[in-house]
Amino acid sequence: MNKHDGSTLDSLFEELGELEEVNARAAKKVFAIETERRMKKLGLSTTALAQRMGTSRNQIHRILDEADAGITLKMLFRLAGALGMPLRLGFGPPAVGAGKRGRTPKGRRARSSSRSEARA
């Protein structure tokens, strides 16, 4: 029997008080990658996207910065509109088979609809 059974990276980060930051950075990285893919598909430069959003190129660079997890809801909706992609936010029940606090049996956090739908 493995004495570490049940230990996860999530539990380690939670113990260190860093789980929220790690999850925010991971979500932002996925979001930035998907934004870049959509920009490429539409043939949009940062300048063109900034013009569509009515903002600066610097703001677009902050959106695309995987390490900068801070982005407002207002900016998310403006970005979604400029990219022609729906943005849905919400809370829901944990995934089927999830344990306490929305975790799946293997200790991974249940994927939120906002993160998976932001990729669409």
- Host domain of residue 102: 13-84+98-118
43: burial class by Cβ within 10 Å (0-12, 13-18, 19+)?
exposed
19: burial class by Cβ within 10 Å (0-12, 13-18, 19+)?
middle
Beta strands in the chain (DSSP E): none
What is the CB-side half-sphere exposure of residue 106 using CA atoms within 13 A? 2
Model confidence at 97, pLDDT cuts 50, 70, 90, reads low
pTM here is 0.65
> Which tens digits make up the pLDDT trace of 10-37?
888 888 888 888 888 888 998 899 999 9
Does residue 92 lie within any of the structural domains?
no
The tally of domains found in the chain comes to 1
> Which tens digits make up the pLDDT trace of 42-82?
999 999 999 999 999 999 999 999 888 888 999 999 999 99
Does residue 7 lie within any of the structural domains?
no
Does residue 26 lie within any of the structural domains?
yes
What CATH number does residue 22 fall under? 1.10.260.40
